[in-house]
Amino acid sequence: MTADSAAAGAALSGRDDQKPAHLPNAPRNPGIPLDLAMFEGHGVNRQAAERRAASLGARRSVKKDHQAAWLINAVRCIDLTTLAGDDTADRVRRLCAKARQPLAPHIIQGLGIENLRLTTGAVCVYPTMVTHAAKALQGTGIPVASVATGFPAGLMPLNLRLEEIRYAVAEGADEIDIVITREHVLTANWQALYDEVAAMREACGPAHLKAILATGDLQTLRNVYSASMVAMQAGADFIKTSTGKEGVNATLPVSLVMVRALRDYLDATGHAIGFKPAGGMKSAKDALNWQFLMREEMGRDWLQPHLFRLGASSMLGDIERQLEHHVTGRYSSASRLALA
């Protein structure tokens, strides 16, 4: 990478002389009492949201070294994920090996980032796979995330969902990706949604809670905004678009509405909440567009793994191919690179 590219990478990573406003050791969101005034009656203009989202990739273009820097930053924000019915301990260990070394050695050397010690943001698995991931990642500092609470539908009794959270944490999970009861949103039962998420946050203990809203099931952008606000009021550390199992998963207009909600919550409370789009994102271009969204709406601080994650695995393969092309000038077959 050139000096310009190195500077761009440093800026994306927050490694410069300007101290970020929200550091990883900042206090967690303690939540606040349910406040309907923060979201009821809050209109969302769908056409305006769609126009704004469409402008992100059209107005901004990054090339060559600067594009490489953005893609490297995307790697460090990826939650490398396997959530398949045929998951095995060996598959999880392979995924963890990829998380520890997400790019091939010749790409790392060609980019000149050997000292960056690049890893993905986390590894995300089912609760029964947490112990395998925790052992494989021991000493690396890479968090283990676990889905829980009856993922992906969440249609289990609350006491069983809370017990699943406790099980995953006891197995070694550092983060819990919970799913909300969509019915509470669709019927505007905000107290029930608040109480549910607050109980889940308590069950997480020291583990951070990422609240999956399953936005593809919520019908309106107003519901997306309201559910985002209630989850944050109840103590969520992150809000997340999707399980990846809905018919419609992460989209830029939905993400824009959620990001505006967390910005409003920050303004009202002073607490910085993270954001995780997930599902349907497969390309390096997707990785760029969602980072552009965070940079333009929230600023540079939200381009760091403690405030931004990308829920994807196949995306990493395309990023690696793009970075290899940047280094060598050639595209390799996807089968030449290690699987995520």
CATH number at residue 315: 3.20.20.70
Query: Is 274 inside any structural domain?
Result: yes
Q: How many domains would you assign to the chain?
A: 1
- Yes or no: say if 23 and 219 are a contact pair by the CB < 8 Å rule: no
Query: Is 20 inside any structural domain?
Result: no
The answer on pLDDT for 48 being more than 60 is yes
Say which of 98, 237, 276, 318 is annotated catalytic: 276
Say which of 237, 240, 286, 318 is annotated catalytic: 240
Q: Which among 214, 209, 222 is positioned nearest to 241, based on CA atoms? A: 214
10 Å CB burial of residue 163 (0-12, 13-18, 19+) is middle
Which uninterrupted H or E stretch holds 275? strand 274-276
| Helix, coil or strand: residue 330 | coil
User: What would the mean pLDDT of 149-171 be, rounded to a whole number?
Assistant: 97
Q: What is the predicted pLDDT for the residue at 24?
A: 56
Query: Is 22 inside any structural domain?
Result: no
Q: What is the predicted pLDDT for the residue at 58?
A: 79
The position carrying tokens 């101290």 is 19
The position carrying tokens 């333009």 is 296
- Yes or no: say if 103 and 64 are a contact pair by the CB < 8 Å rule: no
User: What would the mean pLDDT of 225-237 be, rounded to a whole number?
Assistant: 98
Q: Which domain holds residue 90?
A: 3-13+33-336
- Yes or no: say if 159 and 200 are a contact pair by the CB < 8 Å rule: no
Q: What is the predicted pLDDT for the residue at 320?
A: 95
The answer on pLDDT for 20 being more than 50 is no
The position carrying tokens 């209630």 is 230
Query: Is 24 inside any structural domain?
Result: no
- What integer best gives the mean pLDDT of the chain? 91
Query: Is 41 inside any structural domain?
Result: yes
Query: Is 26 inside any structural domain?
Result: no
Query: Is 58 inside any structural domain?
Result: yes
Higher pLDDT, 330 or 187: 187
The answer on pLDDT for 46 being more than 80 is yes
Over the stretch 194-220, which tens digit does the pLDDT of each residue have? 999 999 999 999 999 999 999 999 999
* Per-residue CA distances from 239 to 24, 47, 83, 207 (Å): 17, 23, 19, 15
Query: Is 19 inside any structural domain?
Result: no
Say which of 177, 217, 237, 286 is annotated catalytic: 177
Concerning whether 282 is annotated as a catalytic residue, the answer is: no
Concerning whether 177 is annotated as a catalytic residue, the answer is: yes
Concerning whether 240 is annotated as a catalytic residue, the answer is: yes
User: What would the mean pLDDT of 307-323 be, rounded to a whole number?
Assistant: 94
Q: What strands, in cross-sheet order, belong to the sheet with 144-147?
A: 274-276, 238-240, 208-212, 175-179, 144-147, 122-125, 78-81, 310-311
